[in-house]
């Protein structure tokens, strides 16, 4: 009977929960009805159990659920609200932080107003530190700038943890570089210094620091266009480009300036919040350098539905899984609200969810999870936590050759006894046999520190991968190439750029995430540190990438208001595969024309308002030939798309190509896929298809494709 009552009460709770409310405790009749606790962030990698070595702290988060259907992180708890079943094994030394004091098992709970949370078991082990790795392994920063360093301990039981806050940091020259107890390095004066860290008698690798005289030449804020509803948040990022063509994230050190703080506010770390309906702009300033202006539109749109993805999860106990909550609004827009919804696990003894949507299986069993905001309840996600255990771990690539100073992302895949597999890259323990040659972060990012050869492996739950060979060479960058070579797209849309470095030994590598990116006119387009290009307003500009004093090719960027004008979207779907939208009359006239049969008046329900063109099957093929003759995007291998290609394009760009890319989709698209003497057409609006003979009286849209 107790089980039935609990199940019923949790169901009622799930339907009541609305939005997060920071002011929830201020209501006089408000009652706390439930508390969920979870470890966040989990400090120990390499194990599926919640484990800490003696002397290490684990942080916990408590979420309170209230009688009015709201929920919030309980920030007003004190040490007395947190409980360990055995203080001789683990004790809450400060609010929300459990310190391992002796070998054993402790059960952790939190309580407030007579409500007791779910219980979590914490295993305190006798593991001792066997090595400490500092990342990044070398740092070049401008005088006055800062850089976060991370200290990772490897333990005798093959686990690892972030010990940045508990090591002793040392700088060989404090006049050049200083470092805080939290690992924040500051460039004090031009010169060089060496950093090390130590704990329990164990010394780390050394980090060479070069403080330069470079000065900030430009600051770019991304994203450049923000549309949010009142009360929603958006993280902004400020990236500085320096006079030596390097770049750095300065989000936390700029002065954020919203033009109308009554409409939107921005915290010191760049978190923007919509306060009132209206429009404004935001800029950032540092060292008298002013950033680009970003446009912010705070709307009164209301949520009509919330969708959690993935829709179902089967995962072994202890392994995390990221959930995403997407809100659809009554103005036909959508946004990621993962960080602001109330996550509601039906049974937190089986699975818990952190405020940022990370699910962790606590015990074997089945449960469900929903999310809620503003009274709207999401779909229900079925969660199955299994008892499967790892049988082997495969790291890819199987061998690595990289230049000194370059990075390579490693991926660790675990195979389980139930024949499932899981990416454990971010939860495994990574080993480099010689940290003077290579270092590996907790997320599997391998860096070449010095010339030489070494071995790297990954470990989880006592299972270790095969060793991968790593060679760090003296090669230097000789050339950088950005793809695609030119871009045309609608304002407000994005396109991923890829920067590839060629080295003096004829090798090459992807340096997209480690390059400095620069757009010559940030009022037209901007590029974020990951190489994501965003169109701001109609116009033309150029984009370049820089690394190690080498400058890439310039790529031409054309941003247009919409695809009803003299503009064509050339969409790189990855791997250098380009697709074009079916063209408008103004665009085709702008390139000298190509045969077509009919005009199509496109309306805003399925594309931009304007005059588009309809082609016979033969004319659709001729259109692609015209693109070849014009060397569109620097290519001469354009062809009509296949049925499978358009189907994949539709599937990967939900809900449709009008919403995601601004394409006209009011008519079906011709393909080269035959069905007898007919050819298939594909509908990018709803994913349907049909076949028609290539007769002159059948006219439709045409999308061309080009591959590298």
Tens of pLDDT, residues 326-373 = 999 998 788 899 999 999 999 999 999 999 999 999 999 999 999 999
Tokens (6 digits) for 190? 């031009």
The answer to whether 35 and 63 are in contact (CB under 8 A) is: yes
Domain presence at residue 10? no
Q: Do 116 and 160 belong together in one domain?
A: no
For 263, the token pair is 């409409």
Buried b (16+ CB within 10 A) or exposed e, 605-627: ebbbebebbbbbbebbbbbbebb
Q: Are residues 74 and 117 in the same domain?
A: yes
CA dist 675 → 541, 643, 690 (Å): 44, 11, 10
Residue 523 lies in a domain: no
Instruction: Answer yes or no: are the C-beta atoms of 469 and 455 closer than 8 Å.
Output: yes
* pLDDT score, position 605: 84
User: Does residue 513 sit within a domain?
Assistant: no
Helix/strand/coil for 6: helix
Pairwise CA distance, residues 267 & 275, whole Å:
13
- In the three-class reduction of DSSP (H, G, I as helix; E, B as strand; rest coil), residue 420 is classed as coil
CB 289 within 8 A of CB 255: no
653 and 580 in one domain? yes
Whether 266 and 189 share a structural domain: no
Which residues on adjacent β-strands are paired with residue 123?
A: 51, 105
- Rounded-to-integer distance, Cα 618 and Cα 535, Å: 34
Considering 212, 237, 265, which residue would you say is the last residue of a domain? 212
Indicate the number of domains in the chain: 5
* Contact between residue 545 and residue 480 where contact means Cβ atoms under 8 Å apart: yes
CB 198 within 8 A of CB 132: yes
Question: What's the pLDDT tens digit per position in 10-61?
Answer: 444 444 444 444 444 444 578 999 999 999 999 999 999 999 999 999 999 9
Please state, in angstroms and rounded to a whole number, the distance separating the CA atoms of residues 24 and 35.
14
The residue with greater pLDDT, 466 or 3, is 466
Residues 284 and 260 sit within 8 Å (Cβ to Cβ): no
pLDDT at residue 17, rounded to an integer: 45
* 268 exposure class (CB count in 10 Å sphere: 0-12, 13-18, 19+): exposed
How many residues are listed for the chain in this entry?
708
Say yes or no: 175 and 231 in one domain: no
Tell whether the torsion through CA atoms of 77, 79, 80 and 84 is positive or negative.
positive
Half-sphere exposure of 675 (CA within 13 A, CB side): 13
Residue range 387-398: mean pLDDT, rounded: 97
Q: Which of 632, 626, 627, 601 is nearest to 614 (CA)?
A: 601
What are the beta bridge partners of residue 112? 115
Model pLDDT for residues 492-534, shown as the tens digit of each residue: 999 999 999 999 999 999 999 999 999 999 999 999 999 999 9
The rounded distance, in Å, linking the Cα atoms of 591 and 623 is 11
Residue 525: inside a domain, yes or no? no
SS3 198: strand
Question: Percentage of the chain surpassing pLDDT 90?
Answer: 90
Residue 275 falls inside a structural domain: yes
Q: What is the pLDDT of residue 369?
A: 96
| Ordered DSSP codes for 36-92 | EEEESS--EES-SS-EEETT-EEEEEEEEEETTS-EEE--S--GGGEEES-TTTEEE
Per the domain annotation, does 332 fall within a domain? Answer: no
Q: Average pLDDT for residues 488-494, to the nearest whole number?
A: 93
Q: What is the pLDDT of residue 9?
A: 42
- CA quadruple 496, 502, 507, 508: dihedral, nearest 10: -10
Full residue range of the structural domain in which residue 270 is found: 216-299
Question: What is the DSSP secondary structure assignment for residue 119, as one 8-state letter?
Answer: -
Query: What confidence score (pLDDT) does residue 8 get?
Result: 39
Q: Cβ(385)–Cβ(350) under 8 Å?
A: yes
What is the average pLDDT across 665-682?
A: 98
- Condensed to tens digits (0 to 9), the pLDDT of residues 428-458 reads 999 999 999 999 999 999 999 999 999 999 9
Burial class (CB in 10 A: 0-12, 13-18, 19+), 453: middle
Could you report the per-residue pLDDT of 570-580, keeping only the tens digit for each? 999 988 899 99
pLDDT tens sequence across 544-576: 999 999 999 999 999 999 999 999 999 999 888
Residue 157, number of CB atoms within 10 A of its CB: 19
Whether the CB-CB separation of 108 and 122 falls below 8 Å is answered with yes
Tokens 């960027």 found at: 557
Max CA separation in the chain (angstroms): 85
In what order do the strands lie in the sheet containing 477-483?
A: 477-483, 498-503, 508-510
| CATH assignment of the domain containing 639 | 3.10.100.10
Residues 139 and 117 in one domain: no
Whether residue 607 sits in one domain with residue 644: yes
Residues 111 and 152 in one domain: no
Q: Do 398 and 423 lie in a common domain?
A: yes
| 445 vs 122: CA distance, rounded Å | 29
Pick from 599, 598, 597, 595: nearest CA to 626: 595
Distance CA 289, CA 257 (A): 13
Q: Are 65 and 57 a contacting pair, CB within 8 Å?
A: no
* Dihedral sign (CA 461, 462, 463, 469): positive
What is the rounded distance in angstroms from the CA atom of residue 515 to the CA atom of residue 546? 6
Write down which residue in 156, 190, 212 finishes a domain: 212
One domain for residues 65 and 105:
yes
Mean residue pLDDT of the chain comes to: 93
Residue 28 confidence (pLDDT): 55
Are 578 and 702 contained in the same domain?
Answer: yes
**Residues contacting 277, CB < 8 A, separation 6+:** 230, 263, 298, 299, 300
Helix (H/G/I), strand (E/B), else coil: 27: coil
CATH of the domain at 161: 2.60.40.1080
In a domain, residue 314? The reply is no
Contact 484, 574 (CB under 8 A): no
521 CB-contact burial (10 Å; exposed 0-12 / middle 13-18 / buried 19+): middle
655 lies in the same domain as 573: yes
Q: What is the pLDDT of residue 30?
A: 85
CB 120 within 8 A of CB 225: no
Token representation of residue 561? 């208001």
Last residue of a domain, one of 264, 282, 299: 299
Alpha helices in 399-498 (DSSP H): none
* Residue 376: inside a domain: no
Beta-sheet pairing, 365-373 with 90-94:
unpaired
């Amino acid at each position: 009977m107790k089980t039935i009552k609990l199940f019923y009460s949790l169901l009622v709770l799930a339907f009541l929960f609305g939005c997060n409310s920071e002011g929830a405790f201020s209501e006089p009749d408000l009652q706390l009805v439930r508390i969920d606790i979870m470890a966040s962030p989990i400090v120990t990698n390499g194990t599926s159990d919640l484990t800490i070595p003696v002397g290490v702290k684990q942080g916990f988060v408590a979420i309170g659920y209230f009688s009015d259907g709201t929920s919030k992180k309980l920030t007003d708890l004190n040490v007395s609200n947190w409980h360990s079943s055995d203080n001789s094994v683990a004790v809450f030394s400060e609010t929300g932080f459990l310190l391992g004091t002796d070998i054993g098992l402790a059960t952790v709970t939190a309580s407030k107003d007579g409500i007791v949370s779910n219980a979590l078991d914490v295993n305190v082990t006798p593991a001792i530190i066997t090595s400490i790795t500092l990342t990044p392994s070398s740092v070049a920063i401008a005088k006055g700038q800062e850089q976060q360093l991370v200290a990772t301990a490897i333990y005798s039981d093959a686990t690892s943890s972030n010990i940045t806050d508990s090591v002793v940091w040392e700088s060989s020259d404090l006049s050049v570089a200083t470092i805080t107890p939290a690992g924040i390095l500051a460039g004090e004066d031009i010169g060089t210094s060496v950093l090390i860290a130590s704990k329990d008698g164990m010394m780390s690798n050394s980090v060479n620091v070069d403080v330069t005289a470079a000065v900030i030449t430009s600051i770019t804020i991304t994203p450049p266009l923000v549309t949010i509803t009142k009360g929603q948040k958006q993280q902004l990022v400020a990236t500085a480009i320096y006079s030596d063509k390097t770049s750095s994230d300065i989000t936390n050190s700029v002065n954020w300036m919203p033009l109308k703080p009554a409409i939107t506010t921005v915290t010191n770390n760049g978190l923007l919040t919509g306060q009132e309906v209206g429009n404004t702009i935001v800029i950032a300033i540092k060292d008298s350098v002013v950033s680009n202006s970003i446009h912010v539109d705070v709307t009164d749109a209301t949520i009509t539905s919330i969708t959690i993805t993935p829709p179902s999860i089967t995962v072994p106990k202890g392994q995390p899984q990221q959930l995403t909550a997407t809100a659809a609004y009554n103005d036909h827009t959508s946004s990621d609200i993962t960080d602001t919804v109330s996550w509601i696990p039906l049974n937190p003894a089986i699975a818990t969810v952190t405020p940022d949507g990370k699910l962790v299986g606590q015990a074997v069993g089945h449960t469900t999870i929903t999310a809620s905001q503003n009274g709207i309840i999401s779909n229900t996600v079925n969660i199955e936590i299994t008892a499967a255990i790892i049988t082997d771990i495969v790291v890819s690539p199987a061998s690595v050759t990289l230049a000194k100073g370059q990075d390579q992302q490693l991926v660790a895949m675990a195979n389980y006894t139930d024949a499932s597999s899981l990416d454990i890259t971010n939860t495994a323990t990574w080993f480099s046999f010689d940290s003077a040659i290579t270092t590996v972060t907790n997320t599997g990012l391998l860096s070449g520190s010095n010339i030489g050869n070494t071995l790297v492996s990954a470990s989880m739950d006592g299972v270790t991968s095969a060793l991968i060979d790593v060679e760090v060479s003296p090669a230097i960058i000789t050339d950088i190439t950005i793809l695609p070579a030119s871009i045309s797209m609608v304002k407000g849309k994005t396109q991923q750029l890829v920067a590839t470095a060629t080295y003096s030994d004829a090798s090459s590598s992807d340096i997209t995430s480690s390059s400095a990116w620069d757009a010559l006119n940030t009022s037209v387009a901007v590029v974020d540190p990951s190489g994501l290009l965003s169109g701001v307003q109609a116009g033309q500009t150029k984009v370049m990438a820089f690394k190690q004093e080498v400058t890439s090719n310039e790529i031409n960027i054309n941003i247009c208001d919409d695809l009803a004008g003299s503009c064509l979207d050339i969409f790189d779907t990855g791997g250098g595969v380009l697709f074009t939208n079916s063209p408008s009359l103004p665009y085709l006239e702008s390139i000298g024309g190509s045969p077509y049969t009919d005009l199509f008046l496109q309306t805003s329900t399925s594309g931009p308002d304007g005059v588009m063109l309809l082609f016979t099957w033969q004319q659709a093929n001729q259109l692609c030939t015209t693109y070849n003759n014009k060397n569109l995007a620097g290519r001469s291998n354009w062809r009509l798309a296949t049925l499978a290609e358009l189907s994949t394009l539709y599937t990967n760009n939900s809900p449709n190509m009008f919403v995601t890319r601004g394409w006209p989709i009011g008519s079906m698209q011709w393909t080269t896929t035959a069905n007898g003497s007919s050819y298939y057409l594909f509908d990018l609006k709803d994913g349907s298809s049909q076949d028609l003979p290539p007769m002159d009286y059948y006219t439709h849209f045409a999308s061309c494709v080009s591959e590298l």
